[in-house]
A and B are shown apart, each in its own frame.
Chain A
Amino acid sequence: MDPKPPWKQLRLRHVSKQFPGGPLILQDIDLAFDRGAFVCLLGPSGSGKSTVLDLVAGFERPTAGTISYDEREIAAPGPDRVVVFQDVANALFPWLSVLEHVEFGLDRRLPARERRARALAAIELVGLADHLAKFPSELSGGMKQRVQIARGLVMEPEMLLMDEPFGALDAITRRNLQLELKQLWARTGKTILFVTHDISEALLLGTDIVVLSMGPAARIKDRLTGPEIPPPDPASPGFIAASHRLEASIEGPSMAPALAGTS
């Protein structure tokens, strides 16, 4: 891996976002991340966390403040910040096979063999090597998400932006993909910005957890970094404590005391 440059990779300075004729979605968001961090954006539905992702991706521009990537302001979407969407049905192309999907974004001027080789490597990483010729209609939800991930990874991005990617999957598939994603992150060292409303998912995956308040005018309510992040073991006291803390940040006093007498 290259040595880390001294500046933060992603920096949001006093970012606010309001859609024309709509309410203020985000207010004064201030964040900075290092290269290689796995940042989880946590918040209830309607907290504008997807909007933060859209801003970083470059699909939207901030109404106030700046977002800079490697100290340069973000102007437009690009293959250095690939996106994995939650609504996988609409994010994939029904007319392309798995292989064609992953090759889709590669430079057409590269020789076909080179494109195929890179695509195959990315497909290997996500474990879809046996399904190269399948079309989205033949894939399960989990497999579709893997296609999205591979499609993004093949571009050799610096950042992966993931918008509740496992939200629509069943619990078992979700767990598997969470573990695979963590391993992938460890191997490739990419920076990941991961939006979720699932506290345990955030604790299992993140090196950095940012809690957004409820919208409108969502602000950063809490942040866990470094030593505050517990080991990814749901049974450990550190994990449970962090869980309570995050719950409190999100929706008020924890339910734990009320439930204590019931089990």
Chain B
Amino acid sequence: MRTPSRLVLSAASIGLAIILWAVVAAWMRQPALLPGPVLVGDAFLAMLASGELGRAVAESLLRVLVGYAAGAVLGIATGIVLGRVRLFADSVGILFDFLKGIPPIALVPIVIIWLGIGEISKYVVIAYIVWIVVTISTTVGAREIPILRLRTGAFLGLGRIAVFYRIVLPSVVPYILIGLRNGIGFAFVALVSAELIAANSGIGQIIMSARFALQTDRMIVGLLVLGAIGATMQVAFDVAVARLPLVKRL
């Protein structure tokens, strides 16, 4: 028998897992711990119909987008400066390694004390981690521009501004894209971190409140939806980037 195709195997595996899930859940008979697929499906539909899911997703997505955009822009600017200005490049590396090691969730309490439990805190925490991640990648790219490219600009007689816009920036773009890609995952981690602690709305709040109410079916829905939008954003990013004319040439 020839080995069935990947797709078939994956589909069969998913089907089997769902069946196993249902069996184990039925055998355990503790919907507070492990609700079966039917319960979770029902919860999903209920949350969808009531608009609760849509609202939560919209709120969370908005936070991610705002925080991500702010962090990305700042990260690109910071990275380019740190990479090109000799003075900074050598000394700030260790600072960023330190900052990167601070989990966003550890910052949430302090940020909440300063800025309250509203939207701003969440934007700040998300923007902060995205800023760090994007800066780190961008700095590497800005620092490692092949010297021959710069020398080419020199002998062709390009002024410093022209060298910056026409040689330095295009050279850094691939690194910026890597940083932006990494930033998506971190942005979601920061989002959840903020929403778990300052839980007033969003998907994190659904997950958190479901825990206390022992509504595990709603929690599982929240988790799966969270995973889905995170993965979707990454895929959307990859698709968008692949179409950029600049990238097609690289």
Contacts and interface: CB of A to CB of B under 8 A. Distances in A.
B158 A105 contact: yes
A176 interface: no
A135 B156 contact: no
A93 to B, nearest CB: 7
B250 interface: yes
Interface in A146-178: 151-152, 155
Interface string B153-192: 0111110000000110011010000000000000000000
Contacts of B166: 104
Chain A contact residues, majority secondary structure: loop
Contacts of A77: 151, 154-155, 157
B interface bracket (residues with beta carbon within 8 Å of A):
10 to 19
B211 interface: no
Nearest to B170: A95
Contacts, number: 60
Interface stretch (A22-30, A82-90, A232-240): A82-90
A79 B155 CA distance: 5
Nearest to B147: A90
A225 interface: no
A97 B249 CA distance: 9
B29 interface: no
A59 B250 contact: no
A104 B151 CA distance: 14
Contacts of B152: 83, 85, 91, 151
A90 B155 contact: no
Interface in A42-82: 57-59, 76-79, 81-82
A95 B154 contact: no
B154 A93 contact: no
B148 A90 contact: yes
Interface in A128-151: 135, 137, 151
6 contacts: A76-B154, A90-B147, A94-B249, A105-B157, A135-B249, A152-B155
Interface of A: 57-59, 76-79, 81-83, 85, 87, 90-91, 93-97, 104-105, 135, 137, 151-152, 155
